[in-house]
């Protein structure tokens, strides 16, 4: 399958809202959102963020991400990363993250890309180091049901 990426469009919102399969997956993608993800919640996040991007394959929407921080010449922080359930395990997340790194480089002239990943998100914790991210901090956060979770913060110099 040929993967491509492009800026998010309003008509993509409803499909992206279906990607998180339960409260835990939504928490990984968008900790401040309430499950189920609604078009209003996602649209508000997109309006406050930069570089909102989707990945398509054969005309089907497969993944989404953006930057919650985008400092021109500084740091871009990757957020709202999510892959459609049927597309998982097929390199789509890798393509998405690599596309976002290139966007940070070309559009924002970033010198560093950061990403944060919760301790229970094994797929993310395994993927990001493969793409050159190195952990630099672990911070405590409150998870679903007032549980303690660790947020592993990683960075990659560009």
SS (HEC) of the chain: CCEEEEECCHHHHHHHHCCCCCHHHHHHHCCCCCCCCCHHHHHHHHHHCEEEEEEEECCEEEEEEEEEEECCCCEEEEEEEEECHHHCCCCHHHHHHHHHHHHHHHHHCCCEEEEEEECCCHHHHHHHHHCCCEEEEEEEEECHHHCEEEEEEEEEEC
Which pLDDT score is estimated for 35?
96
Reported as a single tens digit per residue, the pLDDT across 4-44 is 999 999 999 999 999 999 999 999 999 999 999 999 999 99
**Average predicted confidence (pLDDT) for the chain:** 97
Reported as a single tens digit per residue, the pLDDT across 97-113 is 999 999 999 999 999 99
Which pLDDT score is estimated for 86?
97
pTM of the model: 0.97
**The CATH number of 3-115 is which of 3.40.630.30, 3.40.50.970, 3.40.50.620, 3.90.1150.10?**
3.40.630.30
């Amino acid at each position: 399958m040929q993967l491509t990426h492009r800026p998010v469009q309003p008509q993509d919102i409803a499909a992206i809202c279906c990607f998180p399969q339960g409260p835990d997956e939504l928490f990984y993608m968008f900790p401040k959102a309430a499950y189920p993800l609604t078009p209003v919640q996602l649209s508000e996040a997109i309006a406050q963020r930069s570089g909102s991007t989707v990945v398509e394959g054969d005309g089907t929407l497969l993944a989404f991400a953006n930057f919650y921080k985008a400092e021109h010449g500084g740091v871009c922080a990757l957020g709202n990363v999510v892959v459609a359930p049927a597309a998982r395990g097929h390199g789509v997340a890798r393509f998405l993250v690599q596309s976002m790194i290139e966007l940070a480089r070309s559009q924002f002239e970033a010198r560093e890309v950061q990403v944060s990943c919760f301790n229970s998100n094994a797929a993310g914790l395994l993927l990001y180091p493969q793409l050159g991210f190195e952990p630099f901090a672990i911070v405590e956060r409150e998870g679903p049901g007032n549980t303690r979770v660790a947020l592993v913060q990683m960075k990659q110099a560009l």
